[in-house]
Amino acid sequence: MLYLTVSNDRGMDYIAWTDGSHKPSTNTGGYSSIITKNKKIFAKLYQGFKNTTNNRMELLGVIATLRYFTTPISILIHSDSQYVVSSVNNGHVFEWIKNNDTSKKNLDL
């Protein structure tokens, strides 16, 4: 399992497990996120999409999780997507934004 950590110095308030999927034969997909607090399910997020890709769904699982909260929180996000985890943990996504790198896919996310 890969990890994506978004935190502050208070420790982890929440833990989320995210995933994305894509079915090539229908070009449809979806994401889901299970958010826990104190080892109990706090929220379930999910949505389906047409004309999508697996990477978009993996990204949207994490994004939907972060957007769910309206105030600052500490959260540990589990993702099995090397694309998502490497982009964030290695700082690539921040460089793409800083440099306005339009060669990358999913910049709208």
pLDDT, tens digit (0-9, with 9 covering 90-100), for 15-67? 999 999 999 999 999 999 999 998 899 999 999 999 999 999 999 999 999 99
**Is residue 29 situated within a structural domain?**
yes
Q: Tell me, yes or no, whether 109 lies in a domain.
A: no
Token pair 């490497």 in the structure block, residue: 86
Indicate if the pLDDT at residue 11 is higher than 80. no
Rounded to 10 deg, the angle between the 54-68 and 82-89 helix axes is: 60
Those residues with Cβ within 8 angstroms of residue 32's Cβ, 6 or more apart along the chain or in another chain: 18, 19, 44, 45, 46, 61
- The answer to whether position 90 is within a domain reads yes
Domain interval for residue 34 = 2-98
**pTM (predicted TM-score):** 0.84
Q: What is the CATH number of the domain that holds 93?
A: 3.30.420.10
